[in-house]
Structure 1
């Protein structure tokens, strides 16, 4: 959990917000809400100030003795949209074509979480994940596909509860359209998944 979040300050701001919308922050129903929100924010924003490169430092040299592609699909993704401070949730699919090093598979979800757990937009998040992996592993190529539902689309404005946004970020050899198409086909194998 993010030790950098000033929980007392967040709680004071939530009390002020509750008063600003006409609610009584001292009522029995809302008295504990500011503290709960402060704890939630410490969790939601745990990635603020975290360097995702720290999760890529234990890369293992493979000296050409690796497969052509490393793909981890369906990494759970939760972030807070910086425009309305509403959540967006979905899946990240992260692929890289190793050059001479690979990293433990648990590092990929950690990189995703470190970058997602801060005020964010999906388009930038995919680019940041791709760049972190590119910088940390120097692979031949990187491809990041994010699929997410956004609270700002589902719960306000147009209220499209079924809409999902799909973004793609790529580097190196996986920027080639044919290579990208091959990886995207692997993300949605068979007919049991929704097409991208």
Structure 2
């Protein structure tokens, strides 16, 4: 397979001393090879450049990444999807949903929300799917729905953003409230008046965390 070299390169960088520290940072939910971000990305940079140039979409590679135990393999899978995101379309959302719900934690999910956001921005007809995700039982699908417009700036669909956040008000889940705060803070750099008004209207239903994060620049 074209990606065998990626796996071999990552395994060759294993650091037994660093691995336990990295695992502890993620609450010991996943084993790690112990590879820092820089060397990890350097190990497969040329492979991703080739995939992006040739517009390769190989979900078998990502499947294999998510089947591996060590977390760095999932990072490689997410980085690959980010690299070829322009090649993905609405038909790929079910596959991305699968990855969001596999070995879920913020470190992979927050990368995947950028991939999902890319699809929604190019195919607005997918917006109802994100609304559906915003009410899912799975907090990670809801987190992606909340944050998928990060970086959209003036292209942000404020009606969609408002409805998604309203579907997640009065929550006790940290990762949901943090996501709300992040998306409000991000959009406040583009439209502080909108964010200020939203915070004012929903102040009694937003968590202190969401308000603190969301009001940082307003």
TM-score normalised by L of structure 1: 0.32
Bigger relative contact order, structure 1 or 2 (CA pairs below 8 A, ≥6 apart) = 1
Instruction: Please identify which structure carries the higher helix content.
Output: 2
TM-score normalised by L of structure 2: 0.29
